[in-house]
Chain A
């Protein structure tokens, strides 16, 4: 499944059968009539049940990709499947099982939040009108908007609008939730709530595809990530694989810097760096406890031992060769 690639090289399509993917794209490309290449040869493979982080700076093609996934924008080349159904032909089968928030919420300003949700529900011809009150009530409850449901949309704060957008995405039972920048405009408290919500939804078995330009906001909830840069996919894998694949280090605190350095070097660890009271090296395949035992056996006074995983941010900087707007 790990398919990280150099920028410019195409990412291998996943070997999993298409039925196991909530989203699968093959060579998806969009060139707008102005000539701008927004998405270039995209091969996404989003496993069912995953929380899939779709990262990239603003303008890297995330929203265009999401619009293509939902059949709003037609691809110039390539194809894709949603929930195992070929799009855009299969929209009537696939889309009712997909909830979405696309480039911010949009509702009729003069209608109340509640009336807007009724309208969304009326547009879905597979939704049962007999259960709409119940489903709408549950969705409002879930995003904490029950008290403000009767207020006109134009009187909502940015955060409330965002919540209503998420509520609209959850009006029915969904197999896939596509959330484009769901934390935009939310305060830190609201951001935390969205993360909690995403975790809950995922725990119920719904696949969540969440895009963001803010790595830190979704890093904690994602099981998988893909990174876009300038219309191309530069990385795609599970979070664990991404982290393990790159530079986990062991760090030893010790007064015997020289002895510790030679022990680590003798164990065959790469990139051993000794410093004042601290020695570190790439962990590789060795278990940290055996390294500790080895050092204690050689009489090195170990004061502290830590395994340091690189932050995803570091990994991305490594992968993309440049940092991106991690703080917005």
Chain B
């Protein structure tokens, strides 16, 4: 029986394959608080990778409004319904997931269901999941901007110290998570899905793919998609040609709101505080995995939206949400203790090069690439100029003086 250690759920779990971590792991942090759903990421990906015949329904990158938006339709509700109510338990300040992951929900004996070279042996058939109907791929914008919560009155006022908003929604940008325990790789009956040793990017080898669509079924995030024209399944490739050159993927580079940081993510015991992703995930613990309870150890981490009630966010990002929100707010307020975090948040998304190391000085946050070359510099305080309220030359008052 293959038991792997998934640090995101604080325990060992079943997985069809033995634990095999790549030399480096493609990782990312998205700051949800800054996303405005302009969909520039979506389009930059679409025009780069999925403009062909048979890919019309594919959005390797999509941005959906939560709680009512989703692509494919209701992907998260579907999988959460299937797993049912599950619990986390706290143990010496660490959280351990007590429920079942998608690999455990059906009590599979992975010794008996071991992957082999026989395509007829659909060893992954009991990984919990479903194949979305073709209609489910057809409405990427359904539910956009639909809010949840209490109705607003015309005189409703949200005070600045209010923790969450009575009516809320937020945008969730999504790409493939290049999971450490990928469902797509775990489910493929012909071992066509593989993880790259050098960067941990998960790819489908189209020459080996036999279109069983087991990866489509086994990816709970709905990020493996069947291409009826080519008769293969396809997914986000992590923009590996750019990543190989030290650049960030298209959807990161083109992000107008600078909400995205790409880099390498290490397991907690190997975390490096000068690595921006490790710092946000392991040191500041401000960025959290998406639906960690599914058990895939996804490698895209989210800074949760501070205006949204905890209960919904805990379901989505796990039990460490409240702490993450608090830390983020402290950094935002300018608390000295979180100065380094604030600097890094300023630095996010400011260069097309992958920042592998960063430092925060008195004046600025600086990002370095693999070779230690400076690739980004951002001031801690944005320079601000103030003009006189009254302009004597034109004998007029200025409305905008800063």
Verify that A and B bind, or say they do not.
Answer: no
